[in-house]
Chain A
Amino acid sequence: MSIPASFITKNDASHYLALPAGRRVAWGHLTSGIFLLLLLAWIIHAFAVGQIAWSYVGQFLFVPAILRGVSATLLMAVCAMGLGMFAGLFLALGRLSSSWLPRVVSGIYVWLFRGVPVILQLLIWFNLALIFPHIMIPGVGTMRTVDLMTPFLSALLGLGLNQAAYIAEIFRAGFQSVDIGQYEAASAIGMTRFKAMKRIILPQAFRTVIPPLGNEFINMIKLTSLASIIQYPEVLHNAENIYYANTRVIELLIVAGFWYLLAVTVMSPLQHLLERHFAKGKR
């Protein structure tokens, strides 16, 4: 048996201990890093020298039509998300109900609204007048559907009710993450179901629900761009109107892209704050 070249004895310990710490060169990381940097430089170069008049981008970034579009985008995102959360909460409760009727109704709702593309749902709401020419609203009277289904209301219903189907699943998982013992402890101190839901179950369900809800909201900000096809004046729609007039297509798309990016970027710290608030008592 031969002794391997790397065999060391106790006498060698001091030699190794005296060696300074070095750094292994990660050649793989280095080459792929250099490659990615070159790629990035090339893309930036392409945009810089391409047919993009950057001065137009700066010029249109803050024009009133674009700013109105930004606020319309945010307004729709907030309203549709609110509607989605409200309806989603009831759908989730229906899904978890002990009687079969609410379970089946919410099951069908989720299946239907998740199965049909959002853009198609928006078009259906916007063209509702083709199915129901007149709509009876209790207390208001009969209205022509065309007058009622403004781009705003169509977009709100289309985006919000679709979102509700996804949020229902998130809430359902949130409720199921709360220990059954919490319902029992709440009942044992004499809480009604409603009170237990409000004081004990929802605050705990929110802990698991906030991160996915934040992602849904970010998605919603971007989804509002679909409402441009039903004439809702959000930022993409207004950008399009400008480039139909001045043909600066890419410049205005970059302007719209900038505002979406900004809105989404601002969301992350807000989401973090909310998570911190609801994490009370978590180890």
Chain B
Amino acid sequence: MTEPAVWLRDLHKSFGSTHILKGISLDIPAGQVVCILGGSGSGKTTLLRCIAQLETAERGLIVMNGEILGQQEHKGRMVRRNAHDIARQRRKAGMVFQRFNLFPHMTALQNIMEGPVQVQKRLATDVKQEALALLDRVGLAHRADHYPAQLSGGQQQRVAIARALALKPSVMLFDEPTSALDPESVGDVLAVMQDVAASGVTMLVVTHELAFARQVADRILFMDNGIILEDAPTTDFFTTPREDRTKAFLSAVLGHRPQQETCKEITP
């Protein structure tokens, strides 16, 4: 069996004295699309931020493409890597934030080119062609020279996805990418994510869009109180949930929302 693209072992994270992640272990094979569901405060964002190296876990391993993130062995001990190494490792994970976080002083095109040119030191002329192709892929070729303030929320989020993809990451991390959007733009962003998933990129998506999860994910993780309570293939998860907590969550969320209706929105 081939090695997973990302694997975690016994990951722990606390803020002060509150224990948020209480031992997460997980294997994600390359190309798999995983959706993370769970109640508010269950630690979903914290998990993604640890994988993206925006938070430092105090215990456990995060391994991506066979490389331990954030720490290394040194004289028989595990020590934190230096800042340069960590910066390099962060490129392996493309992070898409809930609130887009585009660079407001740069155009859409410049936002996408910034990583490859400034960080990977690639030639601007080559990068520009790729960036334009990415913009085209997210349906925003005609907005290349617009600043973020001139774009709608949905358009900004699509640029943000293109910006993350431009570094050709091993895994894409999405933290509730549509929850800051107005209902009309949600469909456009989900369609782009579906397209990314179809192209074989490994994805880890925290979302409340159950229709999207059902349609696009290969596998669902249900987080509760800092642990992965249920981990199942998508169809099993929705048809035969095991845990009572999961059943309660699903009936609470699905009870109000007929699935067929929202399914249509994301079909491109």
Q: Within 8 Å of chain A (Cβ to Cβ): is B115?
A: yes
CA distance A190 to B119 in the complex (A): 6
Q: Within 8 Å of chain B (Cβ to Cβ): is A189?
A: yes
Instruction: Please tell me if the beta carbons of A193 and B118 are within 8 angstroms of each other in the complex.
Output: no
B-side contacts of A190, CB under 8 Å: 87-88, 90-91, 115, 119-120, 167
Which of B12-20, B142-150, B240-248 sits within the interface?
A: B142-150
B119 CB contact (under 8 Å) in A179, A185, A195, A283: A195
A278 to chain B, nearest CB (A): 8
Contact status of A184 and B97, CB under 8 A, knowing A190-B115, A280-B105, A281-B147: yes
Inter-chain contact total with CB atoms closer than 8 Å: 75
For chain B, the count of residues having a C-beta within 8 Å of the partner chain is 33
Instruction: Please tell me if the beta carbons of B101 and A181 are within 8 angstroms of each other in the complex.
Output: yes
Contact status of A203 and B97, CB under 8 A, knowing A193-B83, A281-B148: no
Instruction: Please tell me if the beta carbons of A191 and B118 are within 8 angstroms of each other in the complex.
Output: yes
Instruction: Please tell me if the beta carbons of B87 and A200 are within 8 angstroms of each other in the complex.
Output: no
B-side contacts of A182, CB under 8 Å: 101, 103
Instruction: Please tell me if the beta carbons of A199 and B114 are within 8 angstroms of each other in the complex.
Output: yes
Instruction: Please tell me if the beta carbons of B84 and A192 are within 8 angstroms of each other in the complex.
Output: yes
Instruction: Please tell me if the beta carbons of B99 and A283 are within 8 angstroms of each other in the complex.
Output: no
A-side contacts of B94, CB under 8 Å: 188
A-side contacts of B52, CB under 8 Å: 188
Instruction: Please tell me if the beta carbons of B87 and A191 are within 8 angstroms of each other in the complex.
Output: yes
A189 CB contact (under 8 Å) in B104, B148, B167: B167
A63 to chain B, nearest CB (A): 47
- Per-residue interface assignment for chain B, residues 233 to 262, with 1 indicating a CB less than 8 Å from any chain A CB and 0 otherwise: 000000000000000000000000000000
B-side contacts of A191, CB under 8 Å: 87, 115, 118-119
Interface centre among A188, A193, A200, A203 (most CB of B within 10 A): A188
B111 to chain A, nearest CB (A): 9
For chain A, the count of residues having a C-beta within 8 Å of the partner chain is 24
A-side contacts of B102, CB under 8 Å: 185
Instruction: Please tell me if the beta carbons of A184 and B105 are within 8 angstroms of each other in the complex.
Output: no
Q: Within 8 Å of chain B (Cβ to Cβ): is A282?
A: yes
B123 to chain A, nearest CB (A): 17
Q: Within 8 Å of chain A (Cβ to Cβ): is B164?
A: yes
Instruction: Please tell me if the beta carbons of A200 and B167 are within 8 angstroms of each other in the complex.
Output: no
Q: Within 8 Å of chain B (Cβ to Cβ): is A204?
A: yes
Instruction: Please tell me if the beta carbons of A187 and B103 are within 8 angstroms of each other in the complex.
Output: no
A-side contacts of B163, CB under 8 Å: 189
Q: Which residue of B lies closest to A181 (CB)?
A: B101
Give 14 A-B contacts (CB < 8 Å), ordered by A residue: A179-B101, A185-B101, A187-B87, A189-B114, A189-B119, A190-B91, A190-B115, A190-B167, A191-B115, A192-B83, A204-B105, A207-B105, A281-B148, A281-B149
**Given A189-B91, A189-B164, 8 extra CB contacts under 8 A:** A184-B54, A188-B90, A190-B88, A191-B118, A199-B118, A200-B103, A281-B149, A282-B104
